[in-house]
Structure 1
Amino acid sequence: MCSLGFARSLGLALIPLATCCIVANVLLFFPDGKTIYIQENHVTTYVWYFMGIGGGGLVVLIPVCVFLGMGKCADSCGTESCAMCGSVIAALVGLAGSGYCFLISALALWKGPYCFTSMRWNSPFENDGGQYLFAPERWSVCTQPTHVVEWNVTLLSILLGLSALEFLICFLQFISGLVNAVCRPCCYKQEYSLNA
């Protein structure tokens, strides 16, 4: 039952992380807090990949439901190892979702924001290999939306950190569930044969 409690606590830890991923992704649609940029399609294309809403958010909520409902599953299945097998699959889903969020956020951060420079809308930092991140004096090249570079860097960094934490939590449950699903039945068989 200890492993079930551990899984439930990991599920509870994932809830605020997934919620914050969704919020951060939604905020990326509204640079400078205005709706005009999304209406005119002047946001970075990576925002439309829904890395925080889908990957780090809704997909990660699947293992949350499984981890929190494992006690009921163990009661209905009759064994804890059966519930642990389900948690391993759910953890893999969480790993995929958080990994997707991390990857797309990293690519979006690498490419830089989509903004209006002196003449047109473009991605001025697309080909500099992320060097703009260490040169804040160059950020003023983006005139619209106001402070869009800071907006994107902050929110994408938050998404990177949150998705890395989600990945770590799902990985912990994957290992825990795998060990419990594989080793626990073997231990019970050995204990039974020693008592017989």
Structure 2
Amino acid sequence: MCSLGFARSLGFALVPLAICCIVGNVLLFFPDAQVIYVQENHVTSYVWYFMGIGGGGLAMLIPAFVFLGMGKCAKSCGTESCAMCGSVIAALVGLVGSGYCFLISAIALLKGPNCFTTAKGWTSPFENDGGKYLFAPDTWSECDQPRHIVEWNVTLLSILLGLSTFEFLICLMQFTSGLVNAVCRPCCYKQEYSLNA
């Protein structure tokens, strides 16, 4: 039963991470706390991929609730290994969701924000510099509107990267634990039965 307790604790850890991913993605739509930028489609196109809302958020709630409900599943199935098989599938969903969130957030971070520049109007001024702008804060002033958009995007996307990394590691732990339990436990029961016989 200790593996069920471990899975439940991982489920409890995933819920706040998923909520934070959703909040982080939503905040990316409202730079400078203004609605006008999203209304006029002046936010970076990557926020429309819903990496935090879908990948790191809603998709992550599936394994979270499966892990939390594993005790009930084991009682209804009659075996812990049956519940572990379900957790392995749920963990795979979590791995895909967190991987998607990480990948899109990383690409968005490398491409930089969409902003208004004096020279070119609304554009993504750092799109072709391969992420070098991240290490050159003096160039961030190229963006006139929204104010502090580069800091806003870098902060929120870095948070999404960190959260999705934690989610990935949690799901990987449960995937490994569930796989080991689902495969090894029946073998252990067979050995124990043969020894007792």
TM-score range relative to shorter protein: over 0.9
Q: Deviations over 1:134-167 (max 9, x none)?
A: 0000000000000000000000000000000000
Query: 1:86 — aligned with what?
Result: 86
Query: 2:153 — aligned with what?
Result: 152
- Percent identity over paired residues: 83
Listed as ranges, the matches of 1:16-31 within 5 Å are 16-31=16-31
1:73 corresponds to which letter in structure 2? C
Query: 1:112 — aligned with what?
Result: 112
Q: State whether structure 2 residue 129 is matched by structure 1 residue 97.
A: no
Secondary structure, in 3 states, of the residue corresponding to 1:125? Answer: coil
Q: State whether structure 2 residue 108 is matched by structure 1 residue 74.
A: no
What is the CA distance between 1:113 and its match in structure 2? Answer: 0.2
Paired residues, number: 196
Query: 2:45 — aligned with what?
Result: 45
What is the CA distance between 1:64 and its match in structure 2? Answer: 0.6
Give structure 1 regions of 4+ aligned residues with deviation exceeding 2 angstroms. Answer: none
Query: 1:142 — aligned with what?
Result: 143
Query: 2:57 — aligned with what?
Result: 57
Secondary structure, in 3 states, of the residue corresponding to 1:91? Answer: helix
What is the CA distance between 1:50 and its match in structure 2? Answer: 0.2
- The answer for unaligned runs of 5 or more in structure 2 is none
2:166 corresponds to which letter in structure 1? L
Q: State whether structure 2 residue 195 is matched by structure 1 residue 194.
A: yes
Q: Deviations over 1:48-87 (max 9, x none)?
A: 0000000000000000110001111100000000000000
Query: 1:121 — aligned with what?
Result: 122
- The answer for unaligned runs of 5 or more in structure 1 is none
How high is the TM-score relative to the length of structure 2? 0.99
Alpha-carbon separation, structure 1, partners of 2:11 and 2:166 = 12
Q: Deviations over 1:19-65 (max 9, x none)?
A: 00000000000001100100100000000000000000000000011
Secondary structure, in 3 states, of the residue corresponding to 1:126? Answer: coil
Query: 1:179 — aligned with what?
Result: 180
Alpha-carbon separation, structure 2, partners of 1:151 and 1:193 = 63
Alpha-carbon separation, structure 2, partners of 1:117 and 1:182 = 58
Alpha-carbon separation, structure 2, partners of 1:76 and 1:126 = 53
What is the CA distance between 1:6 and its match in structure 2? Answer: 0.2
Alpha-carbon separation, structure 2, partners of 1:16 and 1:154 = 19
Secondary structure, in 3 states, of the residue corresponding to 2:127? Answer: coil
How high is the TM-score relative to the length of structure 1? 0.99
